[in-house]
Amino acid sequence: MTDKLNHFDSDGNAVMVDISEKNPTSRMARAQGVIAVSRAVFDTIKAGTCKKGDVLSVARIGGIMAVKRTAQIIPLCHTILITNCAVDFSCDDEKNEITAVCTVKTEGRTGAEMEALTGVSASLLTIYDMCKAIDRSMVIKNIRLCEKSGGKSGHFLFEGKNNAD
């Protein structure tokens, strides 16, 4: 790991990283996040009775759409060719929590970490948007990169230890 911030030049100006000399490789990034909801929201989502439609299906599409537009949202992010994107959900009945996982694959000179993080964020925000009429006290939390592979820095696997824990 390096301490150098590569989005700044020697004068401290924000710059887009030059990836022209990098070799294209297969790359994958997987991110996840959680939304904690009330029992009423959780039951509505599980039963598929939200007035706005199937919450998790719409949230999946929202996440995928966000992945494809990441470079338009994150200022210094490169546009990448997405070769695959999946957004999956798991529901914890005891905690009234929904975990979203976004996996992005690409072939190129830069990774897909920002796309995976953006996709999981947008999917959780979509859940919030669709269910806010029931209860606005939902909490989005623990958004993080879980794994990435490919590229010069190689494989990364989140092992649950960082300053946020």
Q: Is 12 left (phi over 0), alpha (psi -120 to 50) or beta?
A: left
Q: Known catalytic residue: 129?
A: yes
> Which is more confident, 69 or 20?
69
Among the listed residues 9, 129, 135, 165, the single catalytic one is: 129
Phi, psi of 88 (to 5 degrees): -125, 155
What are the tens digits of pLDDT across the range 8-61? Answer: 878 888 888 888 888 899 999 999 999 999 999 999 999 999 999 999 999 999
The CB-side HSE value for 134 (13 A sphere, CA atoms) comes to 20
Confidence of residue 102 (pLDDT cuts 50, 70, 90): very high
Give the mean pLDDT of 104-132: 97
CATH architecture, domain 25-147? 2-Layer Sandwich (3.30)
